[in-house]
Amino acid sequence: MRVTRTRLGRGRTPDEVLLLLDERARFRGIGTAAGLSGDWFGSRAVLAPEVQLRPVSDPFEVPDLQPRVERVDGAVGGGWIGYLSYDLADPSGRRADLPEAVWGWADHVLRLDADGWWWFESLDSDVTAAEFERLLSLPAPAPSWRAGPLDRPLPAEHGHAVKTCVHAIEAGELYQANICSRFAGSFAGSPAALFAAGVRGLQPRRAAFLTGDWGSVVSFSPELFLARHGDHVRSTPVKGTLPRRGPADDALRQRLRESAKDVAENVMITDLVRNDLGRVCATGSVRVPELLRVRPAPGVWHLESTVEGRLTGSDADLLAAAFPPGSVTGAPKIRALDLIAELEPRPRGVYTGAIGMASPVAGLELNVAIRTFELHGDRIALGVGGGITADSDPDAEWQECLHKAAPLETLLTG
């Protein structure tokens, strides 16, 4: 099998093209459009025009089911696109409305390169580039949606979970756990339109859109869970948060970098990720090339670090070692998973799982499914949370949840 590709043109944004593809897929009735936008595989967007996204029973194995393909530098070509929900790892056995895992094979994609050119790329697909050349010349449709304010749990509910978690940390049971709440409300209209508006307005680094008869996932994540290119694997855990006041707020960025609580959060999880990758990487290859970088995300500043290594196993081995992401569980991970199941009254669903693509040409990239809407029927849900350490304050932790949710709630309700 080989990759074929055709350069199409430039000037169209990922949100516009996704809406055109969504309309095309609905008109044709064959599969659905799906897409990744922001920073994926060295490109600004990778969109699948039509893909059958279905629940799967062996989700970690799917990325390894790849044909042999001649590598082409810069290309993606196609691959498996889908998600892994946190529910796969929940020791309580709870399940939210969406399936535990969904994957679908895309034998052709539209890719927006770093220079603004759109490419049609195919893995021996019968579809040709000519149709998409015409598509890129069409005006983008303008679907809409309606949603009311999201219902929130009482702050005291989250505060009680935080206090209990702090007591467990003080008792020496663990060092850190991520405690989350779930906001929910009603939704009517186009999930693709919601995704397009968020990509346009929030400009998230790791956005993803998946939809099917099982529901929809609309993710505006800022966080990379795993990137595997060849045998090089990388993870960029995000821990540590302060609200943004403006793009040039140097004092606030410095305050975050010097915050003992936020730095402790990040360093502990970075060490956990080192251990996770160390289980499947060559001895001595795991290192931390970047520690405690301050980066912007919608509504907040984050601390992030990067861990990398040389993978000696398969993608399935990598997922088994690293999932669910350490930044949204805690350390030690097994005890954190158990404590989360005890303290959080609702299943997390896709939230804090992973979304992305596995390509036989370009490798594997998955985000951490935070800042992510889950849609099922006429309902929409949004998970929010944060890392709890020994000196966490329950009121401050609740405010952090609100800061993280605010840009998405504004997007949703206008």
Per-residue pLDDT tens over the stretch 211-259: 999 999 999 999 999 999 999 999 999 998 888 876 657 787 888 988 9
- φ/ψ of residue 123, rounded to 5: -110, 80
65 has a pLDDT exceeding 90: yes
pLDDT, residue 216, reads 98
Question: Is the CA virtual torsion 190, 194, 195, 197 positive or negative?
Answer: positive
Q: What percent of the chain has pLDDT over 90?
A: 90
pLDDT, residue 248, reads 59
Catalytic residue among 16, 50, 100, 239: 239
Give the model confidence (pLDDT) of 188-223 as tens digits.
999 999 999 999 999 999 999 999 999 999 999 999
User: 345: cis peptide before it, omega within 30°?
Assistant: no
Catalytic residue among 23, 50, 121, 223: 223
pLDDT, residue 87, reads 98
pLDDT, residue 246, reads 66
Q: How many of the other CB atoms lie within 10 Å of CB of 44?
A: 20
Tell me the average pLDDT across 339-356: 98
pLDDT, residue 200, reads 97
pLDDT, residue 297, reads 87
Residue partners of 112: CB distance under 8 A and separation at least 6: 14, 17, 43, 44, 45, 46, 47, 118, 119
pLDDT, residue 257, reads 87
**Local confidence band at 408 (pLDDT 50, 70, 90 cut-offs):** very high
pLDDT, residue 298, reads 83
Which pair of tokens denotes residue 70? 């001649």
Q: How many of the other CB atoms lie within 10 Å of CB of 287?
A: 12
Tell me the average pLDDT across 383-412: 96
Q: How many of the other CB atoms lie within 10 Å of CB of 282?
A: 12
Q: Residue 403, SS3?
A: helix
Give the model confidence (pLDDT) of 99-152 as tens digits.
999 999 999 999 999 999 999 999 987 888 999 999 999 999 999 999 999 999
323 has a pLDDT exceeding 70: yes
| Angle (CA) 3 231 209, round 5° | 60
Which pair of tokens denotes residue 383? 């998970």
| Listed residue (60, 79, 52) closest to 357, CA to CA | 79
Which pair of tokens denotes residue 256? 């975050």
**Are 131 and 170 spatial neighbours (Cβ–Cβ below 8 Å)?**
no
User: Catalytic site residue 404?
Assistant: no
Give the model confidence (pLDDT) of 138-188 as tens digits.
999 999 999 999 999 999 999 999 999 999 999 999 999 999 999 999 999
pLDDT, residue 332, reads 97
Separation of alpha carbons 183 and 384, rounded Å: 8
User: Catalytic site residue 239?
Assistant: yes
**Are 17 and 45 spatial neighbours (Cβ–Cβ below 8 Å)?**
yes
312 has a pLDDT exceeding 90: yes
Q: Which one-letter amino acid corresponds to residue 295?
A: R
Tell me the average pLDDT across 366-387: 98
pLDDT, residue 72, reads 86
CATH of 145-184+230-348+378-413, one of 1.10.760.10, 1.25.40.10, 3.40.50.970, 3.60.120.10: 3.60.120.10
Task: Name the residue with tokens 């001649």.
Answer: 70
12 has a pLDDT exceeding 80: yes
- Domain spans in the chain, listed from the N-terminal domain onward: 145-184+230-348+378-413
